[in-house]
Amino acid sequence: MIDEKDRDALVEYRLQQAFETIELARFLVKNQKLIIAVNRIYYGMYYSLTALALANSFETSKHGQLIGWFNKEFILTNKLDSKFGKILRNAFQNRTKGDYDAFISFTQQEVEIMLNEMVEFIEEIKKTLN
């Protein structure tokens, strides 16, 4: 188990990591590295979600468990709008397709929409943490 001081530092670190990933994803989209951008878009959300989980004393290394916890604790209870559950699910599915499927491609417009959703998701998690 993590002590409270370390937990707070780790929450802050993960949130910072999420915001840095926004900048990286913007760079990748601008330079048309779209599949890599889709990966970073999901991971930016994942880092912010990890911060939220840590702040709520939930720890897992499994993406599916983390997403399930988020849906159970924040979406089903209406603490957050259900659109954030959809944004996260779509980002996870797109990242999985981009990483593992052959001949997958995303359009510039699709990835720009994903990027905007990522920023909105991370901002909402930050608000929830504060």
CATH assignment of the domain containing 14? 1.20.120.330
Render pLDDT for 2-16 as a digit per residue (tens, 0 to 9). 778 898 999 999 999
Neighbouring C-beta atoms of residue 30, cutoff 10 Å: 11
Instruction: Indicate the Cα dihedral angle 88, 91, 95, 96, nearest 10°.
Output: 60
Q: How many independent structural domains does the chain possess?
A: 1
pTM for the model stands at 0.95
Q: Which domain holds residue 110?
A: 4-129
C-beta of residue 22 within 8 angstroms of C-beta of residue 31: no
Render pLDDT for 43-77 as a digit per residue (tens, 0 to 9). 999 999 999 999 999 999 899 999 999 999 999 99
